[in-house]
Structure 1
Amino acid sequence: MAFYWKIGDGQTTSLWFDNWHTRGPLNLFFSDSLIYSSGLSRQACVADLFSDAGQALRWVLQSWGQPLPTLTNDPDRCCWRESSSGQFTMASAWNYIRKKRTRVHWYSFVWDNAIVPRYQLNLWLMAKRRLPTQDLLLAYGIIGNAACAFCKNVPDSLDHLFFDCCVTASVAFFWASRCNLPWRNRGWGENFKWATTYLMGKDFYKCIARFSFGALCHIIWKNRNDIIFRDQPLSIPAIKNHLFKVVRDKAITFRNVEDNFRNRRLQRSWSLDPIIFNGDP
């Protein structure tokens, strides 16, 4: 049990039904008839255990080998076992109820602080192949027919959008050239594996490359939805300008970037403010 009672004066903790003993609630080990014959009522509190009426039960509990609590003047306190402080937190509750599995290889990439939350969520869905692309919607009978919002040739899928489609492939090559990356477009699975391997690192260059990859995927997905659901026209220059803007906005948060050839080339490629190489004004 995740909650337990830390005994103080023993006045508010149920002797039989609260989780105060190291073995758990006593009603799990004593039947109704044994509780009745113990001399202590079902409404008894832990403090009653140390009365004359509780002597027989004390002997039984002491025979289990675990020490009984010592009463104090402090009130009883309900504690959360899953945190060192005994205080309940949402994070510790999540760790308590969730299924624990081996960490996936892309964990550090997707949930890295260099990538903003909306990009992280999008990448997470993509990593798990749960993005609601047209091929999935067709398979479930949610839609009857569909075509890629960009090329209009085939229904979109994760592999098609990222980046088999001729339109998104051109944007991906644009991104890679701006980041000066050795891009080889080989389907989403290989592209993602490459990104999670090649773009990892804490230096400025890798942080911007990682962030811009997340931005690239999110912008493509957003534009796909805008075309389908809002009847907005396709504009490749607008997509590139959007990518430029978010990368520049991200880069301006950096200071004291190492002034080397690779970072200077990245700065020129994305037209980043050179203030990134200086300290705070």
Structure 2
Amino acid sequence: MERDGERVEEAKARLITELQLLSTITSKIKAFGLFEIKTTNSASWNSILSLRPLAQSFIFCNVNNGENSWFWYDRWTPFDQLINFLGPNGPRDLRIPTSAHVKDACSASGWLLSQPRSDNALKLHIHLTTITNPRHLNEQDSYHWCVDGRDIMGFSSSKTWEALRPRATPKDWFKEIWFSGAIPRQAFMMWLANYNRLPTKVRMSSWGLNVQTACCFCNNNEESRDHLFLSCPYTISLWRLIFARLDRNRAPFISWTELLSWVRVSTSAAPNILKKLVTQSLIYNTWRQRNSANHHNGFAPPQTTFSTIDRDIRNVISARRHRKKFSSLIQLWIQ
């Protein structure tokens, strides 16, 4: 019985502590627009506060009775935050304190704002004549997460990121690398190769590292991206095995641009999606054999590597055979 009593007291103490913590957090959230970043705050709380300008652009307050909405700091009018719209002298000019809620700025007979002294203040007065006096409403204020001016009915990280993320002009090669059906690790390898960011021996030497730059497959040329994937006898053997199935009259590529151009062209005998899958598999498996040669003192012959490429293509097509664009690829690949 004594142990049970101790457990009850411990549970009560924990509950009281949690309620106190919740009360503290709630009070801070209510003053979200008024709190300042201070060295006395915790690092996590200061980090949250630093995101206020970003978050404020998405949060819109739908004012009803005006009890919870801040007059100066919530976005409840078409003019965003009134403290920014009217400037730091706005509270003095309108005679509304910075700590006021919307309901504090009106009475049952109307709004309590002083006469406008600026064009922006006049615009606010005109807008307030178009909305219902909060003193006449009983419903609580509500907050909404809006993206591009539209209420998305709750928070959405994907839609918010789409609105926030930096954007650049789409690259002309992106469809050759990122496409539905690609193997993620192979697409990522292709992306690195396209940017020439793979740590080939030539690149490592340019960083000041003391490495031999000779190709690990042929030992006749320096290991650059274009040599490794396009002109090395090892990869030329792989390309010939691929051309035998997809493009019998095709000559070896002489540049990376020519490779991308070949991948883009789609024919009845070799749809570009099949070319993209084969190219990415070749880049990925050639790099694996290159690492094996450099770190394990050996690499598989071209025919063995091609068998791995062949298995990759068959597995991808088999897994997606119910998709329309993959349904006929297996016949084209094994013919």
Interval of TM-score (by shorter of Structure 1 and Structure 2): 0.7 to 0.9
Aligned mate of 1:224, from 290, 294, 298: 290
Q: How far apart, CA to CA, are the structure 1 residues paired with 2:70 and 2:267? A: 54
% identity of equivalent residues: 19
Residue of structure 2 in register with 1:64 after alignment: 123
Q: How far apart, CA to CA, are the structure 1 residues paired with 2:203 and 2:280? A: 22
Q: How far apart, CA to CA, are the structure 2 residues paired with 1:107 and 1:64? A: 47
Residue of structure 2 in register with 1:272 after alignment: none
Residue of structure 2 in register with 1:117 after alignment: 184
Residue of structure 1 in register with 2:75 after alignment: 19
Confirm whether residue 4 of structure 1 aligns to residue 59 of structure 2. yes
Residue of structure 2 in register with 1:186 after alignment: 254
Query: What's the CA shift for 1:171?
Result: 0.8
Q: How far apart, CA to CA, are the structure 2 residues paired with 1:156 and 1:230? A: 17
Confirm whether residue 236 of structure 1 aligns to residue 302 of structure 2. yes
Query: What's the CA shift for 1:249?
Result: 0.8
The one-letter code matched in structure 2 to 1:216 is L
Residue of structure 2 in register with 1:278 after alignment: none
Residue of structure 2 in register with 1:250 after alignment: 316
Higher relative contact order, chain-length normalized (CA < 8 Å, sep 6+): 1
Please report the TM-score for the alignment, with normalisation by the length of structure 2: 0.66
Residues 138, 95 of structure 1: alpha-carbon distance in 2 compared, 3 angstrom cutoff: farther
8 A Cα contact 1:5 1:13, kept in partner? no
SS of the residue corresponding to residue 5 of structure 1 reads strand
8 A Cα contact 1:114 1:210, kept in partner? no
SS of the residue corresponding to residue 132 of structure 1 reads coil
8 A Cα contact 2:72 2:81, kept in partner? yes
8 A Cα contact 1:82 1:92, kept in partner? no
Query: What's the CA shift for 1:226?
Result: 3.0
Residue of structure 1 in register with 2:159 after alignment: 92
Structure 2 unmatched ranges of 5 or more? 1-55
Q: How far apart, CA to CA, are the structure 2 residues paired with 1:252 and 1:30? A: 64
Query: What's the CA shift for 1:159?
Result: 0.9
Residue of structure 2 in register with 1:165 after alignment: 232
Confirm whether residue 136 of structure 1 aligns to residue 203 of structure 2. yes
Query: What's the CA shift for 1:80?
Result: 3.2
Q: How far apart, CA to CA, are the structure 2 residues paired with 1:130 and 1:232? A: 24
Query: What's the CA shift for 1:59?
Result: 6.2
- Aligned residues, how many? 265
Q: How far apart, CA to CA, are the structure 1 residues paired with 2:111 and 2:57? A: 27
SS of the residue corresponding to residue 147 of structure 1 reads coil
SS of the residue corresponding to residue 123 of structure 2 reads coil
Q: How far apart, CA to CA, are the structure 1 residues paired with 2:115 and 2:175? A: 52
SS of the residue corresponding to residue 214 of structure 2 reads coil
Residue of structure 2 in register with 1:215 after alignment: 281
8 A Cα contact 2:177 2:276, kept in partner? no
Q: How far apart, CA to CA, are the structure 2 residues paired with 1:223 and 1:199? A: 29
Query: What's the CA shift for 1:267?
Result: 4.6
Residues 255, 138 of structure 1: alpha-carbon distance in 2 compared, 3 angstrom cutoff: same
CA-to-partner distance for each residue in 1:189-213, whole Å, 9 max, x for gaps?
Answer: 2112221x21489x98443332122
Structure 1 unmatched ranges of 5 or more? 270-281
SS of the residue corresponding to residue 6 of structure 1 reads strand
Please report the TM-score for the alignment, with normalisation by the length of structure 1: 0.77
The RMSD of aligned alpha carbons is 3.5
Q: How far apart, CA to CA, are the structure 2 residues paired with 1:31 and 1:83? A: 23
